[in-house]
Amino acid sequence: AGCSCPGLKALFLPKLNKHSLYVYGSEGALERECARQPNEETHSLLSVIQFQQLLKNYYIMVMVVMTFLNLIAIPIGIAFLDGSPSSRGFDAFNLASDTIFILDIGVNFRMGVITDDSEVVILNPKEIRNHYLKTWFALDLISAFPIDYLALIIEKIEHQSDTTSYSASKLVRIIMFARIFSLVRLLRVSRLMRFFNEWERVSNANMEAVRLFIRIICLFSMILLLCHWNGCIQFFIPVLQNFPKDCWVVKENLTNASWVEQYSFGVFRALSHMIGISYGSVDPPTGEGELWVVMTSMVSGALMYTMMVANVAAMMTNVDAPSKAYRNRFNYLEDYMTYRKLPRDLRTRISNYYQARHQGKWFDESEILNLVSKSLREEILNILCADLLNSVPIFKNRDINFINAVLLRLKYEVFQEGDIIIRQNAPGDRMFFIGHGKVLVETPTFKKELIDGDYFGEICLLTKCKRTATVRALSLCKVFSLSSECFWRILQGFPEIKEELEKTARERLLYLRESQIKHEQQVLLKCVTKDTAGETSV
């Protein structure tokens, strides 16, 4: 599925997938882009790597891994590996990574760029080149500068010229300068952030749990990376000073130790400074260089601690926001009840209602439903309430559009045990559908219990008369209500149903009047019978 194009060009056209639909917005826009690209005058369309290709996703993954390995390996190589045979693997890695990052610059000159309107991919090499030169080219060029190639060439030249002591010392200085200058490759951290941002855009991850997980991983990765760099710098400064007698490396007898042991002590010393527990050794720093390193390490530790606390606080604030909103509003409610000095029994009932109504989480359901489309809103309410509507004769087998219109007007309500939901002879303005719970419908001559799926109050919805019975909650009841005003407003758009229901309303009203007349006649007859019986006994 996606774009159809003969030959090899088809491999360079976008495919119909989640990412392409996210970038272009619709299948129609994707098809228009497919039709545009083969006609684009790019001199060599196949030489431009397109934004949507699966190949680019794998390429980004490789570059992320290479960048992360560089951020780990470069400080270790600069600080601990001094050109000995044990460092040949590191030198090979450096040469390979320099080659890859130089090639990456060339690839970026031929990488299709998505425009701000997210509907057109720039495939013209000239436009791609201008865009790259204005954005990331300078930083990428500095971070990809081939320091190890230059050091290797200079080393070969020096070895071929002579082997005097002056030449050897000069070579050492050149290698040391190359080490220091190679620190610019740590600018590749910007590439890492750029790749992560592009991955986030491609994946379009929007779940709070996923975002929280990514934030935690990034936070701890940055902290560990900072500790790693700090530990390497702790050892690198004495190396630059050729291990003075009062430096911590000499005091700990680590001058000729393995690089793993040196690195371990360096990280321990850095963590001691950053956490603020000690200097990492028995004696305080003595030399100026070591003193500045310790101060910088302590400041970076304080910044790290501040950043960690701020991020954790922000994460905790955003985690389980509905529960926090529930507790805040419950506190407001308790303060109000205390301020108004309400009776203790009433306070208990109000608290129980609040807990039963929201169940520990605060959601503004109407606002949430307004955030989604009308079709999704109808689908949600269909799942929640459709069976309740179908149980009512006046809604059974009706037009789906009418049912959906009614569903959108339903209101969720909660009643506690003992609450009077409707009272006899009170004005009727809505009917109720029982989602969960049990109620008792009672009149002077009639009683009936209703449970899940039942309904009541439909007579007043049709006839706009007074309530004919009292309905009391026998347990915690979760119901949906439909107001008479909304119901008759809906009927304005369905004249056939309105006419039918008006006829039903007239029949119901006539039946109620006849029932009332019969009831009054029966009461009158009972009174006359009692009076007659009294006169006869006299």
Q: What is the mean pLDDT of residues 221-244?
A: 86
pLDDT tens per residue across span 7-52: 545 555 666 665 565 555 556 666 666 666 555 544 444 445 554 4
pLDDT tens per residue across span 67-90: 788 888 888 887 887 655 566 777
pLDDT tens per residue across span 335-372: 999 999 999 999 999 998 898 888 888 877 778 888 88
Q: Are 112 and 121 in contact (CB under 8 A)?
A: yes
* pLDDT-above-70 percentage for the chain: 69
What pLDDT is stored for residue 205 in this prediction? 47
pLDDT band at 130 (very low <50, low <70, confident <90, very high): confident
Q: How far apart are CA 326 and CA 339, in angstroms?
A: 20
Give phi and psi for 456, each to the nearest 5. Answer: -160, 160
Q: How far apart are CA 525 and CA 519, in angstroms?
A: 10
Q: Which amino acid is at 80?
A: F
3-state percent helix, strand, coil for the chain, nearest multiple of 5? 65, 10, 25
Q: How far apart are CA 340 and CA 348, in angstroms?
A: 14
Q: Higher model confidence: residue 224 or residue 195?
A: 224
Count other C-beta atoms under 10 Å from residue 250's C-beta: 13
Q: Tell me 9's DSSP state.
A: G
pLDDT tens per residue across span 272-288: 888 877 776 667 777 78
Which CATH code of 2.60.120.10, 2.40.128.20, 2.60.120.260, 3.80.30.20 fits the domain covering 365-522? 2.60.120.10
pLDDT band at 192 (very low <50, low <70, confident <90, very high): low
pTM here?
A: 0.54
What pLDDT is stored for residue 133 in this prediction? 84
Q: What is the mean pLDDT of residues 164-173?
A: 48
Q: How far apart are CA 3 and CA 5, in angstroms?
A: 6
The token pair at 112 is 């299709």
Count helices and strands (H / E) in the chain: 21, 10
Domain map (residue ranges) of the chain: 321-358, 365-522
**Residue 92 Cα distances to 148, 187, 488, 524, angstroms:** 9, 20, 81, 111
Q: Higher model confidence: residue 391 or residue 305?
A: 305
Q: Is the dihedral of CA 56, 57, 58, 63 positive or negative?
A: positive
Q: Which residues pair with 354 in a beta bridge?
A: none
Reply yes or no on whether the pLDDT at 219 is more than 90. no
pLDDT band at 474 (very low <50, low <70, confident <90, very high): very high
What pLDDT is stored for residue 439 in this prediction? 93
Q: How far apart are CA 420 and CA 442, in angstroms?
A: 11
The token pair at 316 is 């905790």
Reply yes or no on whether the pLDDT at 440 is more than 90. yes
